[in-house]
Amino acid sequence: MLIRKAADLTYAEVTPKAVYLNRRKFLQAMGVAGAAAVAGRRLIELAVPGRSALAATKFSDLVKSPFSTSEKQNSFQDVTHYNNFYEFGTDKSDPAKNAQKFDTSNWVVSVEGDVAKPRKFTMDEILKIAPLEERIYRHRCVEAWSIVVPWIGFSFGNLVKLVEPAPKAQFVAFQSYYDPRQMPKGRWAGIEFPYVEGLRMDEAMNPLTLLCLGMYGESLPNQDGAPVRLVIPWKYGFKSIKSLVKIKFQSKMPPTTWNLAAPNEYGFYSNVNPNVDHPRWSQAKERRLGEIFKRNTLMFNGYGDQVAGMYSGMDLKKYY
Ligand code: MTE
């Protein structure tokens, strides 16, 4: 898998788009011995010590998703420099600065709980679960800004089927990586770590729920949740947990970080809902990064056709 030790290369240097568009030229230019094939997909991969097996990986042969929006995408610069990743600091610009040395090599995701086949997945194993798709989703943060991002991954349900959950598994609990030595800023973030999140089983199995490995054609930058995160486009952004290390199937509704921090402000469901205001601000409108005028926020962030049925009969003011 690993091709060449390249301690001197930075992430930016190994992924310039003009270079990797021409694979052969790229390999010659970098003096790289070859390209790796994973699950029939062509990957160009460089081994950069201290980075994940996926670092500096350009994905090719991506399947186009019918779930993609045709709305204008935000720039890579926007999406990688305006982040919430409190383990690396609470300012929007902190993760881009402070996550650069985050070591995501030898990453393992443990899948456990009420399942017939608990197991630990390496990143190479996760890559082989299903064909990688490009999904261009609207992403609406609870702070009333939004972005449009070409994520890369596959429906989380593909992983779920491999571990065979028991009927009593009604919920899925998710946990992020946390290492105070690598994430010293986390101490002042004001929330508890590791970051935890949860979904009801039907939400987890909804095809829109994306197990995300990349964006803009390449592996996830550290500040966006490398090497693997969730993206749940009809929920506020904080449900989309980053740098996943544990997935647990269980009968009880799991605790979630923001609900633990402020239960009157953040509920378990956290579906995007312009009709239910946050106690301290309106959710009726949002500002798309890069735009001046606010736009109306859509119920379920515009994904109602695919998800509204899961909440029929539920009072979404009570279950916020
Ligand atoms: N995951 C972890 N582990 N830590 C975090 O602080 N922030 C959440 C979510 N996932 C967060 C996290 C919030 S509040 C948002 S809005 C999204 O990540 C932001 O994702 P983005 O930076 O890729 O836009």
* 45 lies in some domain: no
Closest ligand 1 atom, residue 139 Cα: 24
pLDDT, one tens digit per residue, over 250-303 is 999 999 999 999 999 999 999 999 999 999 999 999 999 999 999 999 999 999
pLDDT > 90? residue 10: no
Question: What residue's CA is closest to ligand 1, atom 13?
Answer: 238
> How many structural domains comprise the chain?
1
Tell me whether residue 231 is in a domain: yes
pLDDT greater than 90 at residue 8: no
pLDDT for 20 equals 35
Domain containing residue 201: CATH number: 3.90.420.10
CA of 117 to the centre of ligand 1 (A): 29
Q: Is residue 318 part of a domain?
A: no
User: Which domain range does residue 275 map to?
Assistant: 62-311
- Is residue 91 a part of any domain in this protein? yes
* Percent of the chain predicted with pLDDT > 90: 82
In a domain, 96, yes or no: yes
The pLDDT tens digits of the residues spanning 33-54 come to 333 334 344 444 444 444 444 5
This prediction's pTM: 0.86
Q: What integer pLDDT is reported at residue 32 of this predicted model? A: 35
| pLDDT tens-place string over residues 155-199 | 999 999 999 999 999 999 999 999 999 999 999 999 999 999 999
Question: Is 316 within a domain?
Answer: no
Residue 122 included in any domain: yes
> Which atom of ligand 1 has the smallest separation from the CA of 189?
6
Tell me the CA–centroid distance for residue 229 and ligand 1, in Å: 9
* pLDDT tens, residue by residue, 72-127: 999 999 999 999 999 999 999 999 999 999 999 999 999 999 999 999 999 999 99
Residue 316 has pLDDT above 50, yes or no: yes
* Ligand 1 pocket, CB under 6 A: 83-87, 141, 176, 195, 224-225, 237-238, 240-243
For residue 131, pLDDT beyond 90: yes
DSSP annotation string for the chain:
----B-TT--HHHH--HHHHHSHHHHHHHHT----EEETTEEEE--B-TTS-TTTTPEE-SPEEPTT---SPPPPHHHHHHS---GGG-SSTTHHHHHTTT---TT-EEEEEESBSS-EEEEHHHHHTSS--EEEEEEEE-TTSEEEEEEEEEEETHHHHHHH-B-TT--EEEEEE---TTT-GGGGGSSS-SS-EEEEEHHHHHSTT-EEEEEETTEEPPGGGTSS-EEE-TTB-GGGS--SEEEEEEESSPPP-HHHHH-TTT--SS-B--TTS-BTTB--SEEEETT-SS-EEPPGGGGTHHHHGGGGTT--TTT--
Mutation test of ligand 1: which of 79, 82, 84, 140 has the most ligand atoms closer than 8 Å to its C-beta?
84
139 located within any domain: yes
